[in-house]
Structure 1
Amino acid sequence: MSKDPAPSTRSKDKAYAPRSARNLWSGVLFGFGIVAFMDETVFHQLLHWHHFYDKSTTGAGLVSDGLFHAFSWFATIASLFMLADLRRHQALRIKRWWGGVFLGAGIFQLYDGLIQHKLMRLHQIRYNVDIIPYDLTWNIIAALLIVTGILLIVRTRNASLAPEG
């Protein structure tokens, strides 16, 4: 009787699967955090186009910006702790991580553009201008980020189960 190598392969797959998910989630969290940080820095602080919450006073808008900024940094730092842990265990799959980054960035941007801007009307990208070009640009970029992330994630799905070498 010959020995079946499949059980040991399956146990290796099970050992790498959680780290594969951690690569993905670390990237998604980093994507959320970095795009939120860029949104806050560029559109809120540098250009003064809007605040996170524009339905009240400027003071309330600034407080909402501060909370939004804290969220973005929390997400970014948490993702970097996960990334460091993956590197320490030699389980970092950089292409899968980047897939998560693109996916997270796109999901955050699409959520911001559709839910916060249109559905909840917390703020708009800009005021007193034709908003359609801004909305189209914002949401098309979000869709491109999501598609790029999904393509990278799908391409690395099977490769993420084995150590790089």
Structure 2
Amino acid sequence: MVLAPVVLGLGIGGFLDGIVIHQVLGWHHMLSGWYPDDPHRNMVADGLFHLVCLLLVVVGVVLLNRRSPLPARVLWGGIVAGWGVFNVVEGVVDHLVLGVHHVRHGPDQLVYDLAFLGFGAVLVALGWVLAGRRVS
């Protein structure tokens, strides 16, 4: 897998998580597991999270521009795999280990967290296959 599109996918995956789950659906915020009654702290944490996502996207674009153009399948495969890696790492660390937040708080939160991890694993596999398992 080529590093540049994976880094780009990490940032895009983070943006998709933050925009869809945090903002559109309102299921959680970055620190809602630790500070459920502090909307200001959660808003600031979500903003810092989005800044990190933006930094990952910028780094991914810079890395892409430092190399020869990639075939579309490698680019998109890497982006999809990077999104999956984001889901898996964020799901394990934030949801399961630290309890910073869960995908959707409530009695079924483990089901949502495991579905998020499963979706991430599917994205990693799909990206790997799409990219043609190329390593460089």
Q: Specify every segment of 5 or more residues in structure 1 that has no aligned partner in the other structure, as ranges.
A: 1-20, 161-165
In structure 2, what is the Cα distance between the partners aligned to 1:97 and 1:154?
Answer: 11
Query: Percent of counterpart pairs with the same letter?
Result: 31
1:41 and 1:149 mapped to 2: Cα distance?
22
CA RMSD of aligned residues (A): 2.0
The 5-angstrom pairing of residues 1-165 of structure 1 reads 24-54=2-32, 55-56=34-35, 57-86=38-67, 90-157=68-135
User: Gapped runs of 5+ residues in structure 2?
Assistant: none
Separation of aligned partners in 2, 1:136 and 1:78: 29
Count of aligned pairs: 133
TM-score by length of 1: 0.71
Please identify the structure whose Cα radius of gyration is greater.
1
Q: How many angstroms apart in 1 are the aligned matches of 2:20 and 2:69?
A: 34
Native 8 Å contact 1:95 1:156 kept in 2: no
